Amino acid sequence: MAFMSDVVTAPAPAVIRTPLTYKDSGVDIDAGDEVVDRIKGLLKRTHGPRVMGQHGAFAGMFRLDYNQKLFKNNYRDPVLVGCTDGVGTKVLLAAERKIYDTVGIDCVAMNVNDLIVQGAEPLFFLDYLGLSKLDPEATAKMIEGVAKGCEIAGCALIGGECAEMPDIYKPGDFDIAGFCVGVVELERVVDAARVKKGDVVIGLRSSGVHANGFSLVRRIIKDAGLDLDRIYPELGPDPLWKVLLEPTRIYAKPIIKLLSGYRKKKVVSGMAHITGGGLPGNLCRALGPKVDAVLDPAAWTPNPIFPFLREHGNVAQDEMYRVFNMGIGYTLIVRPTFADAVCTKLARMGETAMVIGEIVKGSGDVRI
């Protein structure tokens, strides 16, 4: 009886594959390490003797209670104040123009300008960058802007995060946000309950659009066919993109210095940072339920960019005031007998300060 022999199949040749790395998936660890090295000096410039720990640590440390012999400040009844914010869609214009440092200043400004409304001194800041690709030079530029903002504000940049996420962000896109902590003496906390009928509203001039309303700005540019590279004479000598990317003004040092000059008298009864919602949507947050703020728009001239946007976008005036700061980036509510003195003090510190309204009996609204 005959038997068929077993058929032997030869094994398939082995496929030689290059080992897969994190970089192959879009995340470059070496680039991240390079950024950490590049920014060491930037962070150090913002540090004072209260900052502790080493560069590159897992978390930053800041000394709050300390020996008064070594430092000029000390707190008897400290209240910590914290806030977080970002720059919004202004980053899209920055990414398109490849201008990375100005939005870092914006990020600090949007936080510290909120913080000082409570009367708090900014202590330290941390930033967050979400990126499509971690380009060490561009990323260092972003952090350079954050460090510059911290220097202007007088707070320490003690850490942050750079997250390279190519699956989340399109090539060239990025986002930036931050977190700030400050401190104020309990008895010096600015409270809306202090605002009274007869108080005066003082406005501090903005540097431009700041970092609010850019979704509308970009829509106006698109619909009106505006050229970002063009110099429009009514806006001054700079091209449109540069006017729009002008960093948000940081009011921290002048406001803290002003408040520290009135340790016994509570001259300032309220403050507001004019961000998204404009004057009507932010100044009302500084009012109690029994008063209104009545503002006189003839008391100041908006920055040229605002009538420019209104005209080219066919935007109603009420809508302009609801979206943009319209030239007033920060407001103080002060006792009437001190209004002139406060304006003079702020002018000496480099601010353009003017009386723009008064507090009347009402229900917590802002009337322009």
pLDDT digits (tens), the chain, 368 positions: 444 445 555 566 666 676 755 565 555 656 656 656 665 666 666 777 666 666 556 666 666 765 555 455 667 888 899 999 999 999 999 999 999 999 999 999 999 999 999 999 999 999 999 999 888 889 999 999 999 999 999 999 988 888 889 989 999 999 999 999 999 998 888 988 899 999 999 999 999 999 999 999 999 999 999 999 999 999 999 999 999 999 999 999 999 999 999 877 889 999 999 999 999 999 999 999 999 999 999 999 999 999 999 999 999 999 999 999 999 999 999 999 999 999 999 999 999 999 999 999 999 999 99
CATH superfamily of 192-367: PurM-like C-terminal domain (3.90.650.10)
CA dihedral 24, 29, 34, 36 (to 10 degrees): 150
Residue owning tokens 């920060």: 330
CATH of 27-188, picked from 3.30.1330.10, 3.10.310.40, 1.20.1340.10, 3.90.1510.10, is: 3.30.1330.10
Report the pLDDT value the prediction gives residue 3, as an integer from 0 to 100: 43
Burial 282-305 (b: 16+ CB within 10 A, else e): bbbebbbeebbbbbebeebebbbb
Where do you find CATH 3.30.1330.10 in the chain?
27-188
Q: Euclidean distance between the first and final Cα of the chain, in Å?
A: 111
Query: How far, CA to CA in Å, does 316 sit from each of 158, 215, 313?
Result: 43, 16, 9
Report the pLDDT value the prediction gives residue 1, as an integer from 0 to 100: 43
Where do you find CATH 3.90.650.10 in the chain?
192-367
Question: Which 3 state secondary structure label does DSSP give 38?
Answer: helix
Orientation angle between helical segments 136-153 and 29-38, nearest 10 degrees? 40
d(CA 316, CA 294): 20
| DSSP-H helix ranges across 46-199 | 90-97, 102-115, 136-153
CA dihedral 236, 240, 241, 246 (to 10 degrees): 40
Residue 24, φ and ψ in degrees, nearest 5: -65, -25
Cβ proximity of 321 and 280 under 8 Å: yes
Report the pLDDT value the prediction gives residue 104, as an integer from 0 to 100: 96
Name the pTM for this structure.
0.86
Say if residue 158 is exposed, middle or buried (CB neighbours under 10 Å; 0-12, 13-18, 19+): buried
Q: Which two tokens stand for residue 156?
A: 């320490």
Report the pLDDT value the prediction gives residue 5, as an integer from 0 to 100: 47
Q: Which of the 8 DSSP states describes residue 101?
A: S
CA dihedral 292, 294, 295, 296 (to 10 degrees): 180
Report the pLDDT value the prediction gives residue 192, as an integer from 0 to 100: 86
Residue 223, φ and ψ in degrees, nearest 5: -65, -35
Q: Which two tokens stand for residue 239?
A: 């091209």
Cβ proximity of 333 and 199 under 8 Å: yes
Q: In this structure, how many other beta carbons lie within 10 angstroms of the beta carbon of residue 314?
A: 9
Q: What residue type is 82 in one-letter code?
A: G
Give the contacts of 213 (CB within 8 A, at least 6 positions apart).
Answer: 276, 323, 324
